[in-house]
Structure 1
Amino acid sequence: MLQRSNRLMRTMFWCGLVSAASAAPALAADVTGDWLVKDGTAIIRIADCDGAMWGVVAWEKIPGGRDTKNPDATKKNRPFLAMPILISMKPGEEKGEWEGHVYNAKDGKTYESKIHLARPDALEIEGCVLGFLCGGEIWTRVTSLPPGPATATAGTAKGAPAKRADKAQPKAPAKSTAKTTGFANSPAAAENDPVGDVCLLPDVARGTH
């Protein structure tokens, strides 16, 4: 009886190890969430929208930016807040890598880009984003948006430029996160969150930049 019990315990132990090993790559490769860019001027929220990764501006250090360099005249007054930056990124050739495009508001152009996790709380980007990224950069995962005035409403991202936001720093990255869709495992998606569900934003839903 004791031997049978020991065998059962060993079986359960090894099954647990296999399950943990299987789950680890999925968690480790999860690029969704809120990411603070290297110079701290913006937070980009990445979400899985129907199998493609989209990243939008979820927070600006200086609110009220506009997409004045966009070659599309109808978008020149588009707010930076909730604007797509990482566009329709699909799984790449390398495991854990996503390939797609980035929109650079500095020159109004779109560039090819790749993203992957350097560490669970560090995202490596290749491409040009908002003028502060050309080549490669590491973004840091955050668990909340800094306090400040809401400059857009979820799903619309319209409205007049807002006052300057507080200079509070984002909270430190979480120990681990669970993958979700739209809000992209972001605790920032709450009542004070001006962006909300990435996948419901018109520019993302239309698949445009």
Structure 2
Amino acid sequence: MPALKEGEIRRLQPWFDRSVRAACAALLLILTYTRPASSEAPEGTWMFAGRVAVQVFDCEGRVCARIVWLLRPRAPDGAPDTDRRNPDPTLRQRPLCGLTIIWGLQPDAPGHWSNGSLYDPQDGNTYDLTAELTAPDRISARVYRGVPMLGRTEILVRDPQLSFDGRC
């Protein structure tokens, strides 16, 4: 390989500098995003779908959530609303307030959880769930069955201003 002349070296120097900076930036990104995932749950109260608030908590290194507020906490007869659409008839009388509806979310990257489940009392079905903290007060949750692309995205907002009437 022939030696480079001084003029060629000066001409290639900016390109070399940019390449080294780009490689360093790529390495920094790789090191940042391959660190061990935080198991820290985004604890607190989160409004889900505008009709229910859940208390998110750590359950044995995974993320779980239980209902703590409902837009309509009572049935038309005034009794507390129950899990009346549950496919298991023996569970249809349990109250919705206090019911754990999210479980098993495990951390797989900082601010990202997967392999969870969500029970939707509105239809009695259980769905797969992934979640990502998109801002300090927002979680984007992907709710689906089998194929995430065919599911729906729900946004949860931290510390909503809850009215006393709906609290469980």
Residue from 106, 113, 134 that aligns with 1:98: 113
| Alignment: residue pair count | 118
Q: Going by fraction, where is helix more abundant, 1 or 2? A: 2
Q: Secondary structure at the match of 1:81?
A: coil
Aligned to 2:70: 60
Q: Which has the higher contact order (CA 8 A, sep 6+)?
A: 1
Residue from 123, 135, 152 that aligns with 1:135: 152
Deviation string, structure 1 residues 173-208 (Cα, Å, up to 9, x no partner): xxxxxxxxxxxxxxxxxxxx75xxxxxxxxxxxxxx
Deviation string, structure 1 residues 125-184 (Cα, Å, up to 9, x no partner): 1106xxxxx510211111664323xxxxxxxxxxxxxxxx4xxxxxxxxxxxxxxxxxxx
Two-structure CA RMSD over aligned residues (Å):
2.3
Change (3 A) 1:143 1:106: closer
Unmatched 5+ stretches in structure 2:
1-36, 75-80, 145-150
Aligned to 1:34: 45
Query: 1: distance between equivalents of 2:156 and 2:132?
Result: 11
Q: Is the 8 A contact 2:82 2:92 kept in 1?
A: yes
Q: Secondary structure at the match of 2:157?
A: strand
Structure 1 residue 85, shift from structure 2 partner: 1.4
Query: Greater CA radius of gyration, 1 or 2?
Result: 2
Structure 1 residue 87, shift from structure 2 partner: 1.2
- What does 1:198-209 correspond to in 2, within 5 Å? none
Unmatched 5+ stretches in structure 1:
1-24, 129-133, 149-164, 166-192, 195-209
Aligned to 1:48: 58
Aligned residues: percent identity? 27
Q: Secondary structure at the match of 2:130?
A: strand
Which aligned runs of 4 or more in structure 1 are off by greater than 3 angstroms?
none
Q: Is the 8 A contact 1:34 1:144 kept in 2?
A: no
